[in-house]
Amino acid sequence: MTTTATIRSAAPYLRSWVEAQAAHRRVPGVQVAVRSGDELVLSAAVGVADETTGAPLTTEHLFPVASHSKTFTATAVLQLAEAGRIRLDDPIGRHVPELEGSDVAAVTVRELLGHQGGVVRDGARADFWQLEQPFPDRDGVLREVLRAGAVHRRNEHFKYSNAGYGLLGMAVEAVTGTSYADHLRRAVVEPLGLRRTGPDHDPARAGEYAAGHTGLLLGATTRETIAPAPTGAMAAATGFWSTAEDLCTYGAAHFLGDERLLTDGSKRLMQRLESVVTAYGREVGRYGVGMALQEVGERQLVGHSGGYPGHITLTLVDPVGRLVVSVLTNAVDGPAEGLAVGLVKLVDLALAPRAEVAAPPAGAPTTSFTGRFASLWGVLDVAELGGRLVLVRPTADDPLPGAEELEVVDDDTLRVAAQPGFGPAGELVPVQRDAAGRAVSLRLGGVTHRRLAGTPARRT
């Protein structure tokens, strides 16, 4: 099978894994999409859009995707640079005259894109992040930037700055003579046909948004809902809203070879490693020019996360391997990072076995072994990935370390791959079937795991 066909065949299990993760982590809702090359191989929504109403989440619900906005802003700035309308080494004071005479005026456009300008993150009064006050307008952002001055010297430290991206939004307006929102719609959103994406909160579409939810703090069992709000002059840093499907379309425009938005030269600049972020002696992240960088297995990924009151989101793009994974959650403690990275790992598990096992006997009913099973010790899945049977523990934080390749011995027996380990490596896994031939239980390491249907009240 081709790479895309293999990932497409794994898509039903990818959705099932997301469902298990969402239930286990008690996330209200998760919207997820996976794109391979030119094909959207998975688009799904699990859980609810609003816990207070119980309305089911759909793939059409809009999510505030927060700092994903920085990649949109950087794309627009690189477009303007390609057109000769702005230079990456322009001091920001050239485009935002109110900064004249301040330390920040000399910070370059590129330094702001890569968070190397030393600009204050949000300002001294940033309770707009918990919606206790409106997001600042232009004057508010400038006031905070001028008040704080240069927190660090230019290129001294990586310093993530939403206010710095607010300045970039002002530069876009100065260069184009139009509003940030109007320019981004014309330059980025409309060329890709993104129907469910926009640069700042749209009250006219209020009924289409998934509600945000507070976190489950210190053992809490209920959440409060949070409605989105306009982000003012911070829109260039955090205003965008979208869906997982649309973000996969947008992410694909950053594949090398796809020049609908940018030349490959500009994309390589955005995706180039600019900063290895090390805090207290430990690496905590990597950043390029408007994009975060991340390594998962052999893949070099770019993209961005987003944190908005009540929503946590992440989109990962492999510009060489032509893969996009987007995960949007509607809770402030939503595990978007774990889900997106886990999906990339499961995709790669489908594409490449962890260990070689014997081919199944001719006519062996491979798919008849699949299902979700549970014991006192938790839940495990027998999944078909890449035409193989793989044992996955779907509630683990990381699906890969506990994954086992399975060999079909006969119609009623599996065998765990013979690998070193603390578990039942190399042992037989007897399977019991009902009258219809469905696998209803299996014994892994001698412990019976019974087919799980729904969420049992007890484990007797």
On whether the CB atoms of residues 331 and 311 are closer than 8 A, the answer is: yes
State whether 445 and 316 are in the same domain: no
Q: Which domain holds residue 390?
A: 366-451
Compute the mean pLDDT over every residue in the chain, rounded to the nearest whole number: 95
With respect to residue 61, please indicate whether it lies within any of the assigned structural domains.
yes
Domain end (from 289, 324, 352): 352
Q: Write the DSSP symbol of residue 358.
A: P
Average pLDDT (293-311) is 98
**What per-residue confidence (pLDDT) applies to 365?**
67
- Range among 329-333, 422-426, 452-456 rated most confident: 329-333
* Res. 219: pLDDT tops 70: yes
State whether 86 and 9 are in the same domain: yes
* pLDDT bucket at 433, cuts 50 / 70 / 90: very high
With respect to residue 318, please indicate whether it lies within any of the assigned structural domains.
yes
Higher pLDDT, 421 or 431: 431
Give the pLDDT confidence of 304-313 residue by residue, as tens digits. 999 999 999 9
Residues in a beta bridge with 282? 279
- 81-95, 268-282, 350-364: least confidently modelled range: 350-364
* Res. 455: pLDDT tops 60: no
Higher pLDDT, 220 or 265: 265
With respect to residue 2, please indicate whether it lies within any of the assigned structural domains.
yes
Indicate which CATH number applies to the domain containing 254.
3.40.710.10
With respect to residue 251, please indicate whether it lies within any of the assigned structural domains.
yes
Count the domains in the chain. 2
Give the pLDDT confidence of 366-419 residue by residue, as tens digits. 779 999 999 999 999 999 999 999 999 999 999 999 999 999 999 999 999 999
**What per-residue confidence (pLDDT) applies to 364?**
65
On whether the CB atoms of residues 148 and 162 are closer than 8 A, the answer is: no
Domain end (from 298, 328, 352): 352
State whether 293 and 418 are in the same domain: no
**What per-residue confidence (pLDDT) applies to 366?**
74
**What per-residue confidence (pLDDT) applies to 359?**
78
**What per-residue confidence (pLDDT) applies to 206?**
93
Distance CA 439, CA 368 (A): 7
- Residues of the chain with pLDDT > 90, as a percent, come to 93
State whether 341 and 410 are in the same domain: no
- 330, with CB counted inside 10 A (0-12, 13-18, 19+), is buried
Average pLDDT (276-288) is 97
* Res. 143: pLDDT tops 60: yes
State whether 348 and 389 are in the same domain: no
With respect to residue 343, please indicate whether it lies within any of the assigned structural domains.
yes
Residue 147 contacts by C-beta under 8 Å, 6 or more apart in sequence? Answer: 123, 124
**What per-residue confidence (pLDDT) applies to 457?**
46
Q: Residue 426: which region, alpha, beta or left (left: phi > 0; alpha: psi -120 to 50)? A: left
On whether the CB atoms of residues 109 and 99 are closer than 8 A, the answer is: no
DSSP output for 17-68: HHHHHHHHHT-SEEEEEEEETTEEEEEEEEEEEETTTTEEP-TT-BEE-TTH
Closest residue by Cα to residue 333 from 219, 231, 172: 219
Give the pLDDT confidence of 1-35 residue by residue, as tens digits. 899 999 999 999 999 999 999 999 999 999 999 99
Higher pLDDT, 456 or 40: 40
Average pLDDT (277-291) is 97
Indicate which CATH number applies to the domain containing 422.
2.40.128
With respect to residue 236, please indicate whether it lies within any of the assigned structural domains.
yes
State whether 335 and 372 are in the same domain: no
* Res. 460: pLDDT tops 60: no
- 331, with CB counted inside 10 A (0-12, 13-18, 19+), is buried
State whether 296 and 270 are in the same domain: yes
Domain end (from 296, 329, 352): 352
**What per-residue confidence (pLDDT) applies to 363?**
65
Positive or negative, the CA dihedral 184, 187, 190, 195 is negative
State whether 336 and 439 are in the same domain: no
* Res. 239: pLDDT tops 70: yes
* pLDDT bucket at 360, cuts 50 / 70 / 90: confident
With respect to residue 358, please indicate whether it lies within any of the assigned structural domains.
no
- The token pair at 278 is 């090390």
State whether 343 and 260 are in the same domain: yes
Q: Position 156: which residue type?
A: E
State whether 157 and 134 are in the same domain: yes
- DSSP run (H or E) holding 432: strand 428-433
Long-range contacts for 85-91 (Cβ within 8 Å, ≥24 apart)?
A: 85/175, 85/176, 86/171, 86/175, 88/113, 90/171
State whether 375 and 277 are in the same domain: no
With respect to residue 361, please indicate whether it lies within any of the assigned structural domains.
no
Residues in a beta bridge with 242? 63
State whether 276 and 407 are in the same domain: no
